[in-house]
Structure 1
Amino acid sequence: MGRNQIIDSLLVELDGQAPSGYFLALHIRFAAPLMMFQTYDPVWSDHYTRNAYALRDPIVAWGISRTGPTRWSEIDLPDPFGIMAEAREYGLVFGVCVSCGPMTSRTIASLARSDREFTDQEIAEISGVVLKLHNESKPPDHMTDAEIEALKVVASGERYAAGAARLGISESALKARLAAARRKLFARTSAEAIQRAKDYRLL
């Protein structure tokens, strides 16, 4: 099973633990995550984004400043904008936040339900899934100069044939380098790989 398939199966597990949805930001670096997933009600998600709540959300603040798991009800940070109370109106009544990884590559997950608190056992299982997701999605420690050059050529707008000629390689060799770069950056398309490489200051 490839790493993307492993990540997909772990996301299915996470979804099964979050009756009212979840939010997951993997490897936050330079204020942006490598990957982000969320299954909350789109009405809440749109409202949250429109109001820039991520900058003021006590759950996010807790996840950035601490590691480990905690129930939302145990978060002791101020919520002057009443985000938690507002979330309850959208069915996000009980929740758990899990944070792991170093400050330079932090992963934060937040799962919700409307009926009851998460049990200790559920929190332990969720923490295990989030940690696996963090480890499976680890950004590349090393990309070859050839892979970076291939991304740069495509990012400049060159077509494969012209880009390959510019690098003095065959078109199939260029495509192979791009495929390797996509795998290392967990990208499904070259455009996505280019954006992630830029996010990680590789380009």
Structure 2
Amino acid sequence: MAYKAELDRILEALDATETLEGLQLIVEQVCEVFAVDHAMYLWVETAGNHYYFGTYSKAWTDRYLDKAYSRVDPVVVGCYQRFHPVDWKRLDWNPKPAREFLRDAMEHGVGNQGYAIPIRGPNGQFALFTLSHNCDDAAWEKIIARYNRDFILVAHYFNRKVLELEPSRTAEQAQPLSPREVDALTLLAIGYSRAQVAQTLAISEHTLRVYIESARFKLGAINTTHAIARAVSLGLIVV
């Protein structure tokens, strides 16, 4: 039961810490307890800004920000569409930007396996807690089978502590959407293509693009998928 005692110590440390430096130490402790190479908490803010704690190298985190990789990172993009944890292998790595991102990440030691837990908080907050490792599929499946519930528990404890320590860092309240913007996002959310949405609303695809970009700006979203996720979480559209 040594592992369970270590898990309890992580949760107790999260309850007790009163500093951001303490959160960074806890992320490092998570890696030791679960025997994985990396752990990362990432809060994706409006306009693509980020707030994070983690064990990736500074070279990689700086490059991630400089390249605005959150716009193409399948982990971020994929988790906007999900409410449940996901193994990285189940995400879409086929688009060329995703493949290029993966190659860059691997060169920076991110790891060939990963598990991401989407977190949605107050006022449309969106964050991720991810764990990554270098191992074969069989070994990774054993890690996930053993620890997945604990990963989820730690992720939400961690986010709760971040919100407690950073009360001023809240997601921006979205501006009201126009009826056309609501219609466009709703139809996209239920699976219509852009061409089908334009046809249904009797508008051109160019006009539709204007509505979508306007809604994205109002919602502080980095892409259309994020805009839909924010609109749903804020109750601005119902699907």
What corresponds to 2:115 in structure 1?
96
Of all paired residues, the percent bearing the same amino acid is: 16
Taking the TM superposition and a 5 Å limit, the aligned residue runs for 1:24-173 are: 24-26=41-43, 28-31=44-47, 35-76=51-92, 78-81=94-97, 82=99, 83-91=101-109, 92-102=111-121, 104-116=124-136, 117=140, 118-138=143-163
Residues 113-144 of structure 1 show CA distances to partners (whole Å, capped at 9, x for unaligned) of 112424222222211100111222335xxxxx
Contact 1:19 1:113 in 2 (8 A): yes
Contact 1:62 1:77 in 2 (8 A): no
Gaps in structure 2 of 5+ consecutive residues: 1-15, 174-239
What corresponds to 1:156 in structure 2?
none
Is the partner of 2:163 in helix, strand or coil? Answer: coil
Deviation at 1:48, TM superposition (A): 2.5
Deviation at 1:46, TM superposition (A): 3.1
Is the partner of 2:42 in helix, strand or coil? Answer: strand
**Structure 2: how far apart are the matches of 1:94 and 1:111?**
8
Is the partner of 2:62 in helix, strand or coil? Answer: helix
Q: Which amino acid aligns with 1:133?
A: F
TM-score scaled by length of structure 2 = 0.50
Contact 2:27 2:54 in 1 (8 A): no
Q: 1:33 to 1:135 in 2, by over 3 A?
A: farther
Looking at both structures, which has the greater relative contact order when contacts are Cα pairs under 8 Å and sequence separation is at least 6? 1
Deviation at 1:68, TM superposition (A): 2.0
Is the partner of 2:92 in helix, strand or coil? Answer: coil
Deviation at 1:51, TM superposition (A): 2.1
1:19 has 2:36 as partner = yes
**Structure 2: how far apart are the matches of 1:56 and 1:113?**
21
Deviation at 1:33, TM superposition (A): 6.9
- The structure carrying a bigger helix percent of its residues is 2
Deviation at 1:23, TM superposition (A): 2.4
Contact 1:21 1:41 in 2 (8 A): no
**RMSD across aligned C-alpha pairs, in angstroms?**
3.2
Taking the TM superposition and a 5 Å limit, the aligned residue runs for 1:165-184 are: none
Contact 2:74 2:91 in 1 (8 A): yes
- The structure carrying a bigger strand percent of its residues is 1
Contact 1:57 1:79 in 2 (8 A): no
Contact 2:48 2:70 in 1 (8 A): no
Is the partner of 1:124 in helix, strand or coil? Answer: helix
**Structure 1: how far apart are the matches of 2:119 and 2:163?**
12
**Structure 2: how far apart are the matches of 1:131 and 1:34?**
18
**Structure 2: how far apart are the matches of 1:30 and 1:8?**
23
**Structure 1: how far apart are the matches of 2:96 and 2:29?**
33
